[in-house]
Amino acid sequence: MKKLISIFLTMALTLSLAACGGTGAASAEPSAPDNNTTAQPDATADESSAPEQSAEPDAEPVETPDGEANRILIAYFSWSGNTEELAGMVQAETGGDLFAIEPETPYTDDYNALLDQAQQEQTDNARPALAAQVENWAQYDAVFVGYPNWWGDAPMVVLSFLESYDCTGKSIVPFCTSGGGGFGSSRDSVEASAVGAEMLEGFHVGGSGVSGAQSDVAAWIDGLALAQ
């Protein structure tokens, strides 16, 4: 009988030890799945909650403060309408505010006389007086500046415009139409007049190509990654 009890106890002890060992092995094995399990739900939790959590903080700096301060202005000068049409496309893509740069004394309607006048202004490094000022300039963070190429440069009234504001900290985005001369040296002039601004990538199209430029305008503006 004692022998039977002893055998029974031995078996019970063996089984118990085996169970403990099994638990150890099981605890080692689950630790990996546990890690995985912990990682997966965490990852899942991250996927389900983190985007919302990270989207909100991201959205606030981008949408709230930038929605107020990071506004877009599209200021343009146009004599015969090409740059104005392009400015309209920029407006459609960005939702920014449009502003027409105009000299206090309008340019002549006579093309040949205008050629002379524009050349003379350039020779004089003139700064023609402006007809109007932008309201709430400070609210704009990015300013698109559009103009035609005049004698290989920006019309001087565009430089008048830029120099009449504090451009510090603003992003200036030039866009230009021309008869074939591209930007010429206008980007350098714009940069020199927009003191303290950061110049972003500009866009140029020939005057006769403006009406077909919408998709190129969209691609250019997408590449700028502006908030608005």
- Residues making contact with ligand FMN (CB under 6 A): 78-84, 114-115, 118, 148-152, 177-181, 207
Task: State the nearest-atom distance from the C-beta of 86 to ligand FMN, in Å.
Answer: 8
In 3-state terms, what secondary structure has residue 226? coil
Question: Cα-atom radius of gyration of the chain, to the nearest Å?
Answer: 34
Query: Nearer Cβ to ligand FMN, position 171 or 177?
Result: 177
Query: Nearer Cβ to ligand FMN, position 83 or 171?
Result: 83
Task: State the nearest-atom distance from the C-beta of 57 to ligand FMN, in Å.
Answer: 43
Query: Nearer Cβ to ligand FMN, position 94 or 178?
Result: 178
User: At 222, which helix (H) or strand (E)?
Assistant: helix 214-224
Task: State the nearest-atom distance from the C-beta of 133 to ligand FMN, in Å.
Answer: 21
Task: State the nearest-atom distance from the C-beta of 211 to ligand FMN, in Å.
Answer: 12
> Do residues 191 and 172 make contact, with C-beta atoms less than 8 angstroms apart?
yes
Burial (CB count within 10 angstroms: exposed 0-12, middle 13-18, buried 19+), residue 179: exposed
Query: Nearer Cβ to ligand FMN, position 210 or 226?
Result: 210
DSSP assignments along 98-162, one per residue:
EEE--BSSPPPS-HHHHHHHHHHHHHHT--PPBS---TTGGGEEEEEEEEE-BTTB--HHHHHHH
Token pair 């546990």 is found at 34
Interstrand relation of 198-199 and 171-178 (parallel, antiparallel or unpaired): parallel
Query: Nearer Cβ to ligand FMN, position 96 or 155?
Result: 155
Query: Nearer Cβ to ligand FMN, position 96 or 207?
Result: 207
Task: State the nearest-atom distance from the C-beta of 84 to ligand FMN, in Å.
Answer: 6
Find all residues with CB under 8 Å of 224, minimum gap 6, and list them. Answer: 173, 200, 201
Task: State the nearest-atom distance from the C-beta of 182 to ligand FMN, in Å.
Answer: 7
